[in-house]
Amino acid sequence: MDRPNLEIDAAIAEAHGRFLKANPKSAARHEGAKRALPGGNTRAVLWYEPFPLTLTGGEGCRVTDLDGNTYVDFVSEYTAGLYGHSNAKIAATIKSIADSGWVLGGPNPYEARLGQAIVDRYPAIERVRFCNSGTEANLMALSTARAVTGRKSILAFDGGYHGGILTFAHGGSPLNAPYPFIFAQYNDLEGTATLIRQHAGDLAAVILEPMMGGGGCIAAEPEFLAMLREETAKAGIILIFDEVMASRLSYRGYHGMAGIKPDMISLGKYIGGGCSFGAFGGRADILDRFDPGRPDSFGHGGTFNNNVFSMAAGLTGFTEVLTEEALNRMNALGEELRAGMNALIAARGIGAVVTGVGSIMNLHFVAGEVTSPHDAEAGDPRLLHLWQIESLLKRQYVTPRGMIALSLPIGRAEIVAFLDVFAEFLDSYRSVLPNRE
Q: Which residues bind ligand PMP (CB under 6 A)?
A: 78, 133-135, 138, 161-163, 209, 213-214, 242, 244-245, 268, 278
First and final CA of the chain: distance in angstroms? 24
Helix (H) or strand (E) holding 330: helix 324-347
Instruction: Supply the minimum distance, in Å, between the C-beta of residue 268 and ligand PMP.
Output: 4
Greatest alpha-carbon pair distance for the chain in Å reads: 73
In the complex with ligand PMP, the residue whose CB is nearer, 243 or 263, is: 243
Shortest separation between residue 423's beta carbon and ligand PMP, angstroms: 29
Considering beta carbons, is residue 273 or 345 the nearer one to ligand PMP? 273
In degrees and rounded to multiples of 5, residue 173 shows phi and psi of -115, 145
- What whole-number distance in Å separates Cα of residue 195 and Cα of residue 207? 14
Question: In the bound complex, what is the minimum distance in angstroms from residue 185's beta carbon to ligand PMP?
Answer: 18
- CB proximity list for 319: less than 8 A, separation 6 or greater: 113, 117
Specify the residue, 330 or 386, whose C-beta has the smaller distance to ligand PMP.
330
Name the residue number minimizing CB distance to ligand PMP. Answer: 134
Residue with Cβ nearer ligand PMP (40 or 163): 163
Cβ-based nearer residue to ligand PMP, 161 or 309: 161
Q: Select 115 or 134, whichever has its Cβ closest to ligand PMP.
A: 134
Q: Which is nearer to ligand PMP, 219 or 244 (CB)?
A: 244
Q: How far is the CB of 249 from ligand PMP (least distance, A)?
A: 12
**CB closer to ligand PMP, 240 vs 352:** 240
In the complex, what is the shortest distance from the CB of residue 405 to ligand PMP, in angstroms, rounded to a whole number? 10
CB of 363 vs ligand PMP, minimal distance in Å: 17
Based on CB atoms, which residue is closest to ligand PMP, 19 or 78?
Answer: 78
Query: Any residues with CB less than 8 A from the CB of 353 and at least 6 apart, and which?
Result: 342, 345, 363, 364, 366, 369, 370
How many helices (DSSP H) and strands (DSSP E) are in the chain?
14, 16
With respect to ligand PMP, which residue has the nearer C-beta, 245 or 415? 245
Q: Give how far Cα 26 sits from Cα of 23, 31, 203, Å.
A: 5, 9, 48
Angle formed at CA 242 by CA 236 and CA 247, multiple of 5 degrees: 125
Return d(Cα 268, Cα 255) in angstroms, integer.
15
DSSP string, 337-394: HHHHHHHHHHHTTBS-EEEEETTEEEEE--SS---SHHHHTTS-HHHHHHHHHHHHHT
Please say which residue, 90 or 244, places its beta carbon nearer to ligand PMP. 244
Q: How far is the CB of 144 from ligand PMP (least distance, A)?
A: 16
Cβ at position 38, least distance to ligand PMP in Å: 19
Query: Taking the complex as a whole, how short is the minimal distance between the CB of residue 138 and ligand PMP, in angstroms?
Result: 6
Contact 209, 370 (CB under 8 A): no
What minimum distance in Å lies between the beta carbon of 213 and ligand PMP? 4
In terms of Cβ atoms closer than 10 Å to its own Cβ (0-12, 13-18, 19+), residue 134 is: buried
Is the Cβ–Cβ distance between 56 and 17 less than 8 Å?
Answer: no
Report in angstroms how near the CB of residue 100 gets to ligand PMP at its nearest: 26
Distance of CA 165 to the CA centre of its chain: 15
3-state SS of 34-98 is CCCCHHHCCCHHHCCCCCCCCEEEEECCEEEECCCCEEEECCHHHHCCCCCCCCHHHHHHHHHHH
